[in-house]
Chains A and B, each alone.
Chain A
Amino acid sequence: MSVRRLNEEQPAEFAFTPENIDWAEGQIAKYPEGRQASAIIPLLWQAQKQAGGWLPEPAIRHVADMLDMPYIRALEVATFYTMFNLSPVGEHFVQLCGTTPCWLRGADDLKDVCRKLIGEQGEITEDGKLSWLEVECLGACVNAPMVQINDDFYEDLTANSFEQILSDLRAGKEVATGPQNSRRASEPEGGLTVLKGDK
């Protein structure tokens, strides 16, 4: 994850869709004249969404041109933040937390599942559906172990439930987000023990 370089194969060009241009102009308008460069992160994010979850090099130039900033400055931002993927990812991009709480609660088992169903980190399955990456803490330690798939958190995972989720996603089925062990949010397992009533 730490070595962040542009992908070798790049599309020839990139341009925002008309809707995205409207959206981008709205973002740019939030900042005072001469400070348009402040909109770089939302625009790169939108470009990543449009390009299918990763940020191609022409997109970086396209965004830099829109914001009237030097290409290298945009490249610096894109290569700094780990939220920008510089090489293609699967349709369902799994960010697997491997930091201590998740690791203690069995993140290694989830990694084995990924290796079994997807392959090594960064590899995309042949159908283009899945890819995975180990990331640092995503801030859901109380529901460890957990993964983030695209925009959603899947928490309280076991190897089995995780395997089920990946298979379902691959098959195009609906999957419930959040805790997978039937608890609500981060409430205690087995229901509330305090704050149950007036007394």
Chain B
Amino acid sequence: MMRFLKMLFTWWHHQTLSTLLHTRRRGKLMGVDGQGNCYYEDKHGASINGKTRRWVLYNGDIETTRISPEWHGWMHYTVDETPDQAAYVKRDWMKPGQINMTGTKDAHKPAGMADTTGYADGYDAWTPK
């Protein structure tokens, strides 16, 4: 029940009810990435800015950086072939995708940035010899 209410009134835990209904009605599943995110295109060709509408249903938290690197190009209209249609080549120098860690404890900390102790590299307390 809680899940259903959340679905109605929040958008950040899961797709909302209306998105789900819309997807049922008009969505054409184009593929699923390794994380289980489902990528859809409008089956009737309804377009935005002259391009067929595309969207994603996340398998879990709504976080745009969870879109897999191989789907990113399709999702952003850089390419029109989905990774399965086009021979998406994963080069060996490509790192696996990682979600944005800003605001979490794993956030990137540049050298010289003070941490929660107030010091960048800590300070050097005296220890008796």
Q: Does A touch B (CB under 8 Å) in the complex?
A: no
Give chain B's interface residues, CB within 8 Å of chain A: none
